[in-house]
Structure 1
């Protein structure tokens, strides 16, 4: 992702979280396009409809969604050849070590615990975009969880 413009996809069923995410992006004043989907079925339909040439640069994926959860979506994404280069950042309220380890082993690019404060949300999204700007590869485990 060497371009200046970010095409982002947020998969999250919580309308407030989606609004805060969009507001944080607006305040960061970065050149971004954001598409949101509200469940895992919508996510997979969107990705399949846009593959392989119009995929987002980064997918921010909530784990707890209706119809198809983030775990199922990540597994499916990693099984589809057209999606192999898609950066998937887990964006969840949980920071359970077992879940983090599982997401790492399943191939997520990074993991972000949703911060409770807007300023921290803005900072962690900015950090995620900066760190993935030139390198979409999964880091070593110690650097997998992004902090605000």
Structure 2
């Protein structure tokens, strides 16, 4: 990773998943800071408030959240001029091919299935940050869209 420090945003309603994500980042000793929001409404409010000068470098987006789903948030993000280039990595328990294809078509940068094991979570987060950085935070070809631990 070439940048000094990455500002990450995690949108996930599961408190345990948020805690594991933060713990994995802490153990990886990566140069990152993490902000979490717990639903889609909070996410869109956060992005609107920070759109002019303080957007995160990468958004990790859960699909199944209350009040506004990750699907709805991704659509809104890609529709707004000031947010359309924000790298969005889908971070979901589902790995349904139709959903993966839909997220690809809607412009998500990468797709990660949440691993059950902590060691795999650390690996997939590190892989996501390294791969996204090496690819200049652009969407890859469909075959490389799903990141594995």
Q: TM-score, normalised by structure 1?
A: 0.98
Cα pair 2:4 2:31 within 8 Å, conserved:
yes
Structure 2, unpaired ranges of 5+: none
- Please name the residue that 1:40 is paired with: 40
- Please name the residue that 2:120 is paired with: 120
Shift of 1:2: 4.7
User: How many matched pairs?
Assistant: 148
- Please name the residue that 2:11 is paired with: 11
Structure 1, unpaired ranges of 5+: none
Shift of 1:52: 2.3
CA distance in 2, matches of 1:67, 1:38: 10
CA distance in 2, matches of 1:2, 1:48: 27
Shift of 1:69: 0.3
**What are the Cα deviations for residues 65-123 of structure 1, in whole angstroms up to 9, with x where unaligned?**
00000000000000000012200000000000000000000000000000000000000
- Please name the residue that 1:92 is paired with: 92
- Please provide the CA RMSD for this pair: 1.0
Cα pair 2:78 2:85 within 8 Å, conserved:
no
SS in 1 for 2:41: helix
